[in-house]
Structure 1
């Protein structure tokens, strides 16, 4: 597996399939956008390993991508240190799951003609908001550029 480096190969596969599992379980399909990054990392990492000389490859240590041993040994300290971040992540994940289920329920309840109206309106609204944000960012960038040029 991964040219004899089992820990590295298993780490990459666990990360790849873990992102899919978490994205599906929490209804966060946007997490799947990380998959091309993981795949490219795996591809180029393997390509670099393949192109190493025998001496360099012999020095390559088979290690986990994540330090699970450190995590297991220090889990209480890490939990205390990052308690607020962990709690925030759990709250955001819970809100995402509940929001997705409520949105699905909403779409199921409303009549078809209203569904079409709301669907197209929200699509247009998101396009207008995205376009407006992009224009605002561009204007701010131009103003900062002009301000820095005048100094």
Structure 2
């Protein structure tokens, strides 16, 4: 079926809707869930730094829809690249590394929410606003560095050798 490029671009203004118009329902739903859950989490937990990802998701949706609407070939309704290893929702919760990353994200959101909504309002009564901003930036940066180092230590790297052999090696 031939799709209108203009209509696809118009629908792509809502992340995922353009993909759905093109018949890529799975990708459309994944983009919608990603965009609106990021928006919800940022607004609900007062985590403004997550709002940085909203324009990235939005523009990805627009440009990906535009490039796919230009394609003459049939479009496969596969997962987005970020969800390429996930076949169903059961895979997310049965896959041990995925559980680990979800746990890291939830812990990080909880810690940042505690800092932003409890610790900082208490500190505002005792310290200057600039000092609180410095402390907040220091704590959040330290948390990101620790989580990043932890993920790098535990990550396995696949090395492709001659032929089709794959070798896993700890870093």
TM-score, normalised to structure 2's length? Answer: 0.53
Paired residue total = 113
If asked which structure has higher relative contact order (CA below 8 Å, sep 6+), I would say: 1
Question: Given the alignment, which residue of 55, 60, 63 partners 2:75?
Answer: 60
Unaligned runs of 5+ in 2: 1-16, 139-171
Question: Given the alignment, which residue of 29, 33, 52 partners 1:10?
Answer: 29
- Match of 2:87, SS state, is helix
Question: Given the alignment, which residue of 104, 107, 110 partners 2:121?
Answer: 104
TM-score, normalised to structure 1's length? Answer: 0.59
**2:41 counterpart residue number:** 22
Matched, 1:38 2:57: yes
RMSD: 2.9
Report the structure, 1 or 2, having the larger helix content.
Answer: 1
Report the structure, 1 or 2, having the larger strand content.
Answer: 2
Larger gyration radius, structure 1 or structure 2: 1
> CA separation in 2, counterparts of 1:64 and 1:16?
15
